[in-house]
Structure 1
């Protein structure tokens, strides 16, 4: 188990935070640091066809060791971390034989990881946890996934008695800012299907995700001296507030779960003359997703009609862009790839947790690019913040699942 701990720590201590405001790929130069390290490591453990392109997309091969036709399968993870919280100077803490109580992440700042709030912790009593020191995120999203894939590949190379077909490995930048699959060369990858190792708790197996869109609305106003503003001033911030107030009040992330969709205001900037609202729109159901986008347009169009005379034109401009779609449509026709993953977990004594993702992964975009790609647990919890942690046993189990999937896929029917 120490081997997987050491590998994981060697990855998370490299800062790979991505940046949505950058137009390069990768979005930050520091992602190259881990990318080059991974390329060297993949070569060192004996993988073939190890490549890295100009955008830091890494691919490699575990060669087949059988003489019959076997579908080429792939395993994919991303090496960037979220810009939501600092990923610099990560100092992982090891909690051996977790006793089920509070974990002091940072005594000086009184930062405590407690099962009273994070009840999932109690699943891992007696196990070894890796946590943050309370000042950064951990980076298990998705360096746990990378750790598991490299560990499984190394194990397969060292154990030729385990029969498997050709296995492709892919590591991507910029997933956390929604660009992880944008420049992924599906043809060069050459797999019949793949799995992202990017889920959370042990047992997760996901082939449904949100349909997703982002909206930007710009509200105009007229600034007049407040002493003489009656009938003249139009405060764009108040118009923006009217727009937000017309959205369904209970259809927000903090009040929804399961298959329930939502509207989520992610940013507001404003002055009297101009205000901007950033909004994301999510729903698993494609028809409900379309209705949500129409509602945003309907509210904005009504504001334009109400203020057209006073303002002298449209008072709000809006742009709505689709971001990704529910992979279910692309995975269901090849559902055997879910059956194989589910069987692999059962064979290893892991209870499969098949549920819909309340988010998206590289896999949902890749599925629409011709590479069906459901998602498997990587083991971490509380991503994108100081309370992030991962049980080492979950990472080991995920690596075991990869090996078992490879073995099951190669069995003659």
Structure 2
């Protein structure tokens, strides 16, 4: 277990924060600091065909050790960390034999990781936790995933008695800013399917995610001296506020869960003359997703009609851009790849937690690029902030799941599995019609 701790810490102490305002890939040059380290490490443990391209995508191969034909599978994780919270000068703390009480992250600033607020902590009493020092995020999203993939590949190389087919791994940049799959070369990767190791708590197995769109709206106004503004001034900030109030009440992130979709205002800046509003639209159901986008256009038309005479042109300019779609559409036809991961977990005594992702992963984009790619737990909690932590035992279990999936892939008759997936697909279609 110490080997996993040392490897993980060597990754998280390298700053790889991505930048949404950058136009390059990777968005920050410092991501190469870890990418190049991973290249050296992959070569050192005995992986072959190790490559890194000019955009930072790292790929490598573990050759098959069986004579019969086996599907090529892949494992994917990203090495960038979110720009939502600083990832510079990460100083991890290792908590041995966690006692179930409060963990003081930073005494000087009284920053405490407490089970009274983060109840998931109580699942890991007696285990080894790695936390932040309260001043940065940890980076378990997704350096835990990288640690697990690297450790699993090393284990398989050191234990040739475990049967496995050809395995491809890829470590990607810029996932946290939605670009992780932009330049992913699926053809070069050459896998029949893959798994992202990018989930949270132990047992998570996900093949459904949101359909997602980003919205940028510009509101125009007219600035007039406030003392003589009656019937003349148009305050774009107030128009933007009225627009937000037209959106359905209660359909926000803080008021929804499970399969419930939402509208989420992410940015609002403005003046009397011009205000810019940014929001995101999310829904698992494609029909509801389309209706949400139509509603935004409907509200836009309503405001433009209302102010057409006074303003002389459109007062609201709306741009909606789809970001990613629900991978379920691409995974259900090959549902046996989810069944395989579920079987691997159960054989290791892990209770699978199959649930929809209230977000997205590289896997949802990759699924639509021809690489079906469900998501498996990496073990971390409270991503994107100072309260982030990861149980080492969860990382160890993720390593075992990867190894077991590799073994099952080499020993499973996929003819029966594919037939079952076709039945599942037909069932899904009937449910949709109803």
TM-score range, shorter chain: over 0.9
* Cα-to-partner distance string for 1:260-307 (whole Å, 9 max, x where unaligned): 000000000010000000000000000000000001111111011111
Q: Give the equivalent residue in structure 1 for 2:335.
A: 335
User: What's the secondary structure of 2:64's corresponding residue?
Assistant: coil
Q: Give the equivalent residue in structure 1 for 2:388.
A: 388
Deviation, 1:318, is: 0.7
Number of residue pairs the alignment of both structures matches: 413
Runs of 5+ consecutive residues of structure 1 not aligned to the other structure: none
User: What's the secondary structure of 2:279's corresponding residue?
Assistant: strand
User: What's the secondary structure of 2:122's corresponding residue?
Assistant: helix
Once structures 1 and 2 are overlaid, which stretch shifts more, 370-379 or 226-235? 226-235
User: What's the secondary structure of 2:351's corresponding residue?
Assistant: coil
* Cα-to-partner distance string for 1:162-197 (whole Å, 9 max, x where unaligned): 010000000000000000001000000000000000
Q: Give the equivalent residue in structure 2 for 1:212.
A: 212
Quote the Cα distance in structure 2 between the aligned partners of 1:379 and 1:140: 8
Deviation, 1:412, is: 4.9
Question: How do residues 31-46 of structure 1 correspond to structure 2 at under 5 angstroms?
Answer: 31-46=31-46
User: What's the secondary structure of 2:302's corresponding residue?
Assistant: helix
Q: Give the equivalent residue in structure 2 for 1:81.
A: 81
* Cα-to-partner distance string for 1:184-217 (whole Å, 9 max, x where unaligned): 0000000000000000000000000000000000
User: What's the secondary structure of 2:385's corresponding residue?
Assistant: coil
Q: Give the equivalent residue in structure 2 for 1:377.
A: 377
Runs of 5+ consecutive residues of structure 2 not aligned to the other structure: 414-434
Q: Give the equivalent residue in structure 1 for 2:417.
A: none
* Large movers: runs of 4+ above 2 Å: none
TM-score (norm 2): 0.95
- Compared CA separation, residues 412 and 226, structure 1 to 2 (3 A): closer
Q: Give the equivalent residue in structure 2 for 1:165.
A: 165
Question: How do residues 13-412 of structure 1 correspond to structure 2 at under 5 angstroms?
Answer: 13-412=13-412
Q: Give the equivalent residue in structure 1 for 2:423.
A: none
Deviation, 1:379, is: 0.3
* Cα-to-partner distance string for 1:316-362 (whole Å, 9 max, x where unaligned): 10100000000000000001101110000001000000000000000
Quote the Cα distance in structure 1 between the aligned partners of 2:91 and 2:84: 18
User: What's the secondary structure of 1:390's corresponding residue?
Assistant: strand
Deviation, 1:257, is: 0.3
Quote the Cα distance in structure 2 between the aligned partners of 1:359 and 1:149: 22
Quote the Cα distance in structure 2 between the aligned partners of 1:248 and 1:126: 45
Quote the Cα distance in structure 2 between the aligned partners of 1:195 and 1:159: 22
User: What's the secondary structure of 2:76's corresponding residue?
Assistant: strand
Quote the Cα distance in structure 2 between the aligned partners of 1:412 and 1:125: 36
User: What's the secondary structure of 2:260's corresponding residue?
Assistant: coil
TM-score (norm 1): 1.00
Deviation, 1:121, is: 0.5
Quote the Cα distance in structure 1 between the aligned partners of 2:116 and 2:411: 45
* Cα-to-partner distance string for 1:141-179 (whole Å, 9 max, x where unaligned): 000000000000000000000010000000000000000
